[in-house]
Amino acid sequence: MQKLIVILLAFSAGFSIMSFELLGGRMLAPYFGSSVYVWGSIITVFMLALSLGYLTGGKLSVNKPNLAKFACIFGIAAVAILPSIFYSEFLFELVFAWIEDPRYGSLVAATLVFLIPSVVMGMISPYSVRLLTVSTHSSGQTAGFLYFVSTLGSAIGTIMTSFYLVLWMEVSQILWFIFGILTSCAALAFTTHVLSNKNTPVFSNNSVVSE
């Protein structure tokens, strides 16, 4: 059961991050246009954020990993999205007035608004791997399966957002929707932790992938 829940949470994280990335293009367009360099800025920031997130999530997973801490990551990711709902326009206006070149303007604006939530969301994948890994022997298979699930989530997040969500909802409403997904994931992880009333198996440092 726990395994299934970790898989579902990894899928939801993958969904959320790509949905968030696509909305990034929508949010920046009124200030920096939809030129190729705006998308270049967005993709750069998200890739950088994910790389930092993988690194940090891997480090965190070494220290007594459990679903309660996993829930915290989702909770922090949800809170980190809130500034993009409330302050993004103010920040974009500020950067637009400050930096004239839309290449660097969009890069700085994307960094200010999207970097932190994406770093936190990036921490989820390696942490999920750690929670599911039961032996060194199967660690590669577990990691592969988790990448499959979270990348599938990303693919579905991309297509759902670009094909349907933007047609059904406003950008802010979709951001609240992502906030809702992440908050629900946090609640689910925490509830599972409480109900199981025991920590997930903790392994020695040399049996996991991220050390």
Partner 1 sequence: MQITQYTIGLILFAAANLFANSSGFALEKIHKERSIYRNIVITEDKGIRCMRFETRRKKVSNQACINLKQPNKLVFEYVQGTLLGLAHNPAPKRVLILGLGGGTLANVIHQVSPTSEIVSVDIDPAVVKLAKAYFGYQENAQIKSEIKDARVFVKRALLQKQQFDWIILDAFNGDYIPEHLMTEEFLAECKRLLSTNGLLSANTFSTSDLYDHESVTYQKVFNQLDIFKAPTKGNRVIFACNCDNFSLTKSLSAQLNRQLTSYGLDTNVLFEAVSSIVDWDVNARVLTDEYSPANLLK
C-beta closer to partner 1: residue 1 or 36: 36
Please report, for residues 24, 57, 136, the alpha-carbon distance to residue 17 in angstroms, rounded to integers and kept in the order given: 10, 15, 29
Least distance from partner 1 to the Cβ atom of residue 184, Å? 24
Stretch that binds partner 1, among 22-30, 46-54, 126-134, 179-187 (CB under 8 A): 22-30
Least distance from partner 1 to the Cβ atom of residue 87, Å? 16
C-beta closer to partner 1: residue 99 or 202: 99
Stretch that binds partner 1, among 14-22, 70-78, 95-103, 110-118 (CB under 8 A): 95-103
Considering only 1, 4, 63, 100, the residue that binds partner 1 (CB under 8 A) is: 100
Question: Under the criterion CB under 8 A, does residue 32 sit at the interface with partner 1?
Answer: yes
Which tokens sit at 137?
């022997």
> Which amino acid would we find at residue 120?
V
Question: Under the criterion CB under 8 A, does residue 59 sit at the interface with partner 1?
Answer: no
Which tokens sit at 160?
């759902």
**CA dist., res. 66 & res. 50, Å (int):** 21
> Per-residue DSSP letters for 50-93?
HHHHHHHHHHHTTS---HHHHHHHHHHHHHHHHHHHHTHHHHHH
Question: Under the criterion CB under 8 A, does residue 57 sit at the interface with partner 1?
Answer: no
C-beta closer to partner 1: residue 39 or 147: 39
Question: 65: phi > 0 → left, psi -120 to 50 → alpha, else beta; which?
Answer: beta
Eight-class DSSP state of 160: I
Residues 165-184 that bind partner 1 (CB under 8 A): 166-167, 169-172
Q: Which of 123, 128, 156, 131 is nearest to 50 (CA)?
A: 123
Least distance from partner 1 to the Cβ atom of residue 115, Å? 22
Residues that bind partner 1 (CB under 8 A): 26, 29-36, 96-97, 100, 102, 163, 166-167, 169-172
